[in-house]
Chains A and B, each alone.
Chain A
C-alpha cells in the first residue's frame, strides 16, 4: 500500500515537473530540445533505479526500447532544428511525451520490484527464523524423540 502511495506521489511529481518544463519554454529559458533532453535523462535515472531495485530484465528491456525511441525523436529534433523549427518542435514534443510515459512506467516497475524484493526478503528471513525455532526445539526435545522411537521399537518387539 505504501509503495502504491509512493508511486502515485512520483507520478504526480512527474506531471508537475512536465508542466513546469513546458512553462520554461514560455519564459525563454530552454528550447523544446533541451527540455526533451532533460526528460530523457530524468527517465533514465528512474529506469536505472528500477533496475537496481530488482526489476525484471524483460521490463527493463522494454523501458530501454522506449528510451531509445525517445532518444531517436530527440536526435531527429536536433537535426531538423536549423531548417525546420516546427518539425523539430513536433519531434521534441514526441520525445518529451514518450520520456514522461516511460518515467511513469518505470516508477510503477520500480514500485513492483521493491515490493517483490521486500516480500522475498521477508519470506527468506521468516523461513530462517522458523528453521531456527524448529532446530532449537529438535535439540531441546531430542530426548523425547529418542524415548518415542524407543517405545515404538519395544512395541514392535512385543508384537513379534
Chain B
C-alpha cells in the first residue's frame, strides 16, 4: 500500500510538472527583438523624389510636404519624439549612441504609438529666403508652421541637410532620451536628407 502511495505521488508530481511546463510555455509571450522602424516619405508617398524635381535643389517658397512613418515593435505603447535638426556638409552626424547635438534643433514632434502600430507624422517645410552671413548662405525657413532662422550656413547654399532623430520617453529618467531601449541598451536611430537651396 505504501509503495502504491509513493508511486502515486511521484507520478502525480512528474505529470503535473510536465503539464505545468506546457502551460507555462503556452502562456509565455514569444520572445522578440524590440525595435522602432521608421522612414521619411516624400510627397509622392515614396522613399525617393523628395524635391519633386531634378536633383536636390529646393527653390524658395516651394512647400514640401513630407511625412514620417514610425512603426512601434517595442512590445508596449511608446511615447516617441522626432527631433529635427539642420546641418551642413561639415556637421557632425548623429550615431548609434549620440544625437547630433552640435547641429541646431529646428523642431520636434511627439506621438504615442501603440505596439504593432504605425503612426504618420507630417513634416512640412519651406525656404522663405536666403541671406549672406560670413561668406555662407543661411536660410529663413518655415517648418511645420513655425518660422525660424537656424544658425547654420553653407557655401553657395549647397549641401544643407536635415537630421531626423528618434527619441523615446524614458519613465525612469523622466525625460526623452535619444534612441530606444533595445535589450538593455539604447539604440540610436537617425535619418538624413541632403538638399541645396536653389
Contacts and interface: CB of A to CB of B under 8 A. Distances in A.
Contacts of B41: none
Chain A binding surface SS class: helix
B115 interface: yes
Interface string B119-142: 000000000000000000000000
Contact of B112 (A68, A127, A139): A68
Contacts of A139: 11
B15 A51 contact: no
B116 interface: yes
Contact of B114 (A52, A60, A133): A60
A128 B13 CA distance: 11
B108 to A, nearest CB: 10
Interface stretch (B20-28, B55-63, B91-99, B154-162): B20-28
B114 A57 contact: yes
Interface residues of B, number: 30
Contacts of B23: 124-125, 127-128
Contacts of A60: 77, 114-115
B114 A44 contact: no
Contacts of B1: none
Contacts of B79: 41, 44
Given A44-B77, A64-B77, A68-B111, 15 more contacts: A41-B171, A44-B112, A47-B77, A48-B171, A51-B77, A51-B114, A51-B115, A52-B76, A61-B117, A63-B77, A68-B112, A71-B112, A120-B27, A124-B23, A132-B18
